[in-house]
Structure 1
């Protein structure tokens, strides 16, 4: 690939990336609003679903949010019935935050059609192309996590 072609591809990537970021935020905001949540709350539920019960400190690390922000958010999520605080099984001084699976199931409905859309959209790509996209997204996720950590300090 020539330097000129690579530069053009990177410039296009920046444009497409911004568009994708915008529609992703809007999608999650719309889903969150259906359940009286904001996008940060909805994505925090996703972290808990993928990682299992976590402490507030762990959630702060995984989300990049300030600890005080996490505490307030957990208070709101608990009041809305999406999470509960429980004693840590081995360290009684610590508290874990766990999901209420019944409330989470209410959110899953909104993702089912989207998951089918993703599968359909990916039909045009072969395994090698999908592996490249996966690798790219993993690298970009790590880079964005570092950028978030710098911003939240």
Structure 2
């Protein structure tokens, strides 16, 4: 099982490297690429939703959206039901960019599993879903998560352990 965790960590690192390369090829940062992905998969979003999904401050998301707007990848449109808010949508250029990024990622994943029997791919897909659910379940109570990590690292009173 430890090997599984190590292989999953390697997959996460490879995915991070892939995302950095995609972002660099578009001339944007990783957070900007993540924002494009969120808008692509969830549809038009208010900036506040991006704050939550990306885990960044409101001021940071404003600057991020300004950069994406200047790059011609997103636009802000009036919210149809809330005059005080806007929705961030992909421009045609932004949609083309994120669609191409996701298509290349999908092709690379499919190339990696093309020789596997379909039932193994289905089982593996199911296991990945269960792993994601298990990780999210651990994070339901962020306070309990922080306390457990502090207890395991010997940090006093939940003090951060510092950079890892």
Band the TM-score falls in, shorter-chain normalisation: 0.7 to 0.9
Paired residue for 2:99, among 71, 93, 108? 108
TM norm structure 1? 0.77
Q: Gaps (5+ residues) in structure 1?
A: 1-8
How far off its partner does 1:113 sit?
3.7
Query: Relative CO higher for 1 or 2, CA cutoff 8 Å, sep ≥ 6?
Result: 1
TM norm structure 2? 0.73
Q: For 1:35-56, what per-residue CA distance to the aligned partner results, in whole angstroms no more than 9, with x for missing partners? A: 1111111011000111111111
Match of 2:88 in 1: 97
Answer yes or no: is the 8 Å Cα contact 1:48–1:98 preserved in 2.
yes
Match of 2:41 in 1: 50
Q: 1:20 to 1:51 in 2, by over 3 A?
A: same
**Which segment drifts farther, 24-33 or 11-20?**
11-20
Greater than 6 Å deviation, 4+ residue runs: 144-147
Paired residue for 2:58, among 61, 67, 74? 67
Q: Gaps (5+ residues) in structure 2?
A: 147-159
The CA RMSD measured in Å over matched residues stands at 2.6
Is residue 123 of structure 2 the alignment partner of residue 132 of structure 1?
A: no
Distance in 2, matches of 1:145 and 1:63, equals 17
Paired residue for 1:16, among 7, 12, 17? 7
The aligned length equals 141
